[in-house]
Amino acid sequence: MKILLTGFTPFGGLTRNPSQQIVEHLARVKPVSDLVTAVLPTEYERAGERIRALIRDVEPDAVICLGVAQKRAAINLERIALNLNDSPASDNAGVVAEKRCIESGGLPTYQSTLPLTKMANALRQHDIPVQLSDDAGKYVCNHVFYVARHALEQAGRVIPCGFIHVPAVTDDEPGLPLATLIQAVKICLDTLAETD
């Protein structure tokens, strides 16, 4: 199974983005045999273009996009992508997108097609805090989640695709150590590969 795994560059006040750190680590150790990794720019337009190009060129069997949600204390398996950019925060290109539709005429929402329940159960078995979430935000993370699902739908490709938010890297709450975040994503990759 060829899995496409993406993360993001730092943004806002972050000097490091744990999603990028996880992706770069897993690119080196290759926990599954056919893993393709990429770090997306934290910019609406460029990130959307990049995920579309990756899906087209890589032709993956599954897509997992990672992002950081700094105030959350658990791995968040996102269930819903909204057709909406709506954040007062600017992206790394200085764009503020408030109340903007991502795809004109597109569906209002897309559901994750990852095996979220299996992933959550596997994480709990390893005592890693996890939540199923209906709020992927309305910033670049949600944008990429929506664009990835839309691109696959437009191409007629029915494959697992979704988004996982990780908390900030810290030994204190809220947050988790980087080693735990890496372990969590490896577990999700393994679970996905097993359901092939």
67 has pLDDT over 70: yes
pLDDT-derived band of residue 140, with 50, 70 and 90 as boundaries?
very high
pTM of the model: 0.96
Alpha-carbon distance of 112 to 193, in angstroms, equals 16
- Which residues are known to be catalytic? 78, 141, 165
CB 9 within 8 A of CB 20: yes
Tokens standing for 98?
């408030």
Q: Where exactly are the structural domains of the chain?
A: 2-194
According to CATH, the topology of domain 2-194 is: Aminopeptidase (3.40.630)
Predicted local distance difference test score (pLDDT) of residue 196: 63
Considering Cα of 101, then 102, then 104, then 105, what sign does the dihedral take?
negative
- Condensed to tens digits (0 to 9), the pLDDT of residues 85-113 reads 999 999 999 999 999 999 999 999 999 99
